[in-house]
Amino acid sequence: MTKYCIPNTEALEDAALKKFNDDFYEKYNIDKLSDYITDLMNAWEVMLICLGASFIIGMIYLIILRCCAGVMVWTTIFATIAILGGGGYWAYRYRENYDEADNNYNYITYGAYILWGLAGLFFIIMICCCNRIRLAVAIMKVTG
């Protein structure tokens, strides 16, 4: 181990210094640390290529975000409403597989009503926040 300047244990006469030296090697595992540093020194080219690639991919993402931010936001909003409404419709139709006396029939019916209620609530919130959503899309475009 030529990379670190640590006193030689044979030269140490004090037992406390010898114990400190032994604990230091055991706690910090210097051999493993030097292996890590050597690995980093050997892989610097790959790390530099990954850094450049991530920068380029990030710039491409920002350009796409600038062009398509509005489409992505509005598509996500309407898809959420459609999924909630469609899930309510599916649950309402699926309840026909059970007898009306069965508890699952009631649970699925209530689940369908809850999904439709969430879809309606989300739609009302979206209408109330329409101007703010447009503002957020514009800010996203400018930021990109």
pTM of the predicted model, to two decimals? 0.55
Nearest-10 Cα torsion for 30, 36, 39, 45: -130
Q: Is the pLDDT of residue 13 over 90?
A: no
Within its chain, how far is the Cα of 85 from the centroid?
27
Tell me the backbone φ, ψ of residue 8, rounded to 5 degrees.
-75, 135
For the segment 30-55, what is each residue's pLDDT rounded down to a tens digit?
667 777 788 888 888 999 999 999 99
The answer to whether 39 and 30 are in contact (CB under 8 A) is no
For the segment 84-142, what is each residue's pLDDT rounded down to a tens digit?
999 999 999 988 888 888 888 889 999 999 999 999 999 999 999 989 988 988 888 88
- For residue 59, the surrounding DSSP H or E stretch is helix 44-94
Task: State the amino acid at position 1 in one-letter form.
Answer: M
